Each structure stands twice: as C-alpha cells, then as structure tokens.
Amino acid sequence: MSESGSSVRRPRFRQRSAKMAELVARQIVEDIVEQGLTPGAALPTEVPMLEMYGVARGTLREALRILENNGLVRVRPGRGGGATVGSADPYNFGRTMSLFLQMGRTRFWELVEARVIMEPMMARLAAERGDDRRLEELAASMREHKDLGTQDQVAYLSVVQDFHGVIAGMSGNGVLDLFGRSLKEMYTERVIAAERPPARWAEVQSEHEAVAQAIFDGDGARAEDLMRTHMVELKAGFERRYAALNDEIIGWA
C-alpha cells in the first residue's frame, strides 16, 4: 500500500448493495493482502489514503472504523498515531459471528454439536498434513499439559483449549481453522462464565495425549476416531454439567 503515486484505487466490488465506506474497507483489505503486509505494519497516513481511494475524509474514516471494529486494522488517534494492520483473529471473528447466531436464535447445544462434527476432521487433516512447525506447536502444547497443576481452573481451561486451537491450525485449511478457533472461543467464554471446576482432569489429558500421538504418527484415521470420541465425551459432559446452558441462545459472554 504505497504512498507514492496519485492513481485512485477504485473499488472493484459490486456496488449495488454496499455503501462506499464498505467498498473502501474491502479495497483496503485487498491491498493489505496483495502487498503482503503483516500485523503491525503501518498503513499510509490519511492524506495519501484519501488520494488513493478518491473518497471524502468521512468515508475513509468510516471504512477504517469498520475494519477496526473487526480487529483487521488498529487506529491510534493523535500525534504519532495512525492506522496499522491487525489480524484475522478468531476471537474478533467469533464476536461478530455470535451476533448472527444470536439473531438466528441459535442454541448453545448447536455450537457444541458443530464442534463435535468439525474437530475430528481437523484432527485427521492435522495428522495427514504433518507440518513441521505446527508439530512443534503441538509438542509445546503437550508439554504444557504435563506441567498443569491440579487446582488451577484458569490454567486448565487455557491449556486444554489451546490444544484444540493448535489442532485447528494444523488442519491447514484456513476456513476450518478460523471457524474452529472461533467456536472454541465462544464455548470457552461461556463455560468460564459458568464457573465450574474441571471434572475430567486426568481423562482429558489422557485423551489429548492419545490424539496428539496419532497426529505425530501421521495416522489420520486414528486421530479422527480418537478426537471424535473425545468430543462426544465433551458434549456428554457439557450436557451433564451445564444443562441450563443447553437451550440458551448464543450470545457473547
């Protein structure tokens, strides 16, 4: 997203149903991706961006606000401030998705069921694709499992949920990764709010270790089967321990 040159970046998306600020927001994201900008990279200052996109100041600021609300850019006001690149964070995506799920009267049991369906396939893909960097992340996660205490609920939830996030990333599929992590974030937020101590501490660790070993072995079928068994038990435990949440409409805790 170079500041040099004065050619106007006309949005290339259909304009029939979108406001100009939305079109500019899409174009900014496209430029970020095309230029390979990474989180934290500075975007041009306001005047060059006004020239690049050929819009009024109010439209540009609204476009940046749209992206900021979704965590895709960060804007610091005042002297020395400006816009920088954010990230496709599953937490922010989950917040937005939860609004649609809430408007659709989606029940919490449906979120749990979706995880039961998705996560075994992600475990299979993780085993079959065996990315070396991701395998090291999984190894680090398993070391954290071994270091867990026996009474720290916050640490327990962090470690076991991080495991599921690592598996989602190891799937190598950006759609499954983003949705899988976002569903995990929504689940974790609500379960933490319920303030219950972990009930299957040793069993969960053992099940995670078995899934991880299948992934290290590159055995996709076994990883899928073990993860499905684990997720079915998670669903059953949820229904036993959090029955009051089962028919609750999803919202952001």
Describe the crossing of helices 108-129 and 220-241 by its angle, rounded to 10 degrees.
160
- pLDDT tens digits along 73-100: 999 887 777 899 999 999 899 999 999 9
229 found inside a domain: yes
More confident position, 170 or 161: 170
| pLDDT score at 5 | 47
Confidence of residue 135 (pLDDT cuts 50, 70, 90): very high
Same domain, 176 and 134: yes
5 found inside a domain: no
Same domain, 98 and 24: no
142 found inside a domain: yes
Same domain, 72 and 178: no
Domain with residue 71: its CATH number is 1.10.10.10
Q: Which two tokens stand for residue 220?
A: 């996709």
Burial class (CB in 10 A: 0-12, 13-18, 19+), 80: exposed
End residue of a domain, out of 51, 85, 119:
85
| pLDDT score at 8 | 57
- pLDDT tens digits along 174-204: 999 999 999 998 988 887 666 555 667 888 8
Q: Is the confidence at residue 6, as pLDDT, over 70?
A: no
237 found inside a domain: yes
Burial class (CB in 10 A: 0-12, 13-18, 19+), 192: middle
Using alpha carbons only, what angle is made at residue 11 by residues 43 and 101, rounded to the nearest 5 degrees? 85
52 found inside a domain: yes
SS3 186: helix
Same domain, 218 and 95: yes
47 found inside a domain: yes
Domain span at residue 191? 90-245
| pLDDT score at 165 | 94
Q: What DSSP element (H or E) covers 69?
A: helix 57-69
Same domain, 109 and 212: yes
